[in-house]
Chain A
């Protein structure tokens, strides 16, 4: 059974960089069949797709965040990571890592439990 687990600071100061890591267990992140994605959800609001990475390192980002987002992968640790720079209070949200089927867009079959990141001084 594939499991994903987010980790990282729960509090980030404004203008700093948010950094999260997702550890994948029960399956290899090097599998060619999946994208590894980040999605966020502000409190009481809907889901926002942030971006995704393929095992090769190729990435796709939401244009609204592209200038501030970097997603990377470490296949040796079976992990992928999110960095979001110059954060503001608007970036406060629960951040989910997820596995998306490469051959069926939007088929996100596995999600992490989510981690709350608060942007505040």
Chain B
């Protein structure tokens, strides 16, 4: 069982917006602003999309945005495109000895 909880799947139509949640505890998501989001296409390595809750690396579309409220972080993708169909993982720093934990992943389907 993953330390961070994500919905198994979400879907949306092209042009729509979707939000993926990532729920943890006060020892990880809620306690630190070190939440990252990764996009992973089949057979490929993960790609960093958001770091420190809401920052986008250079080159990542501004259609991707991140936020946090309490123990839940969220990734929002606006103006859905077919190429956004992928698995998305959140991660967070944790004060436990594990140091870093991932969510179980969310499969995004673009209808």
Contacts and interface: CB of A to CB of B under 8 A. Distances in A.
A105 B57 CA distance: 14
B48 A49 contact: no
Contact of A108 (B35, B48, B52, B93): B48
B102 interface: yes
Contacts of A108: 36, 38, 46, 48, 91
A106 B89 contact: no
Given A46-B105, A106-B51, A107-B36, A114 B99 contact: no
Interface residues of A, number: 21
Contacts of B44: 113
B45 A104 contact: no
Given A63-B98, A104-B52, 9 more contacts: A45-B105, A46-B103, A47-B91, A48-B102, A49-B99, A104-B34, A106-B91, A112-B45, A113-B45
A15 interface: no
Interface of A: 45-49, 60, 62-64, 96, 101, 104-109, 111-114
24 contacts: A46-B2, A47-B38, A47-B46, A47-B89, A47-B91, A49-B91, A49-B101, A63-B98, A96-B45, A105-B32, A105-B93, A105-B99, A106-B100, A107-B51, A107-B52, A108-B38, A108-B46, A108-B48, A108-B91, A109-B57, A111-B46, A112-B45, A113-B45, A114-B45
Contacts, number: 63
A108 B50 CA distance: 10
A interface majority secondary structure: loop
Interface size class of B (residues with CB under 8 A): 20 to 34
Interface string B80-111: 00000000010111000111111111000000
A111 B57 CA distance: 14
Nearest to B4: A46
Contacts of A62: 98-99
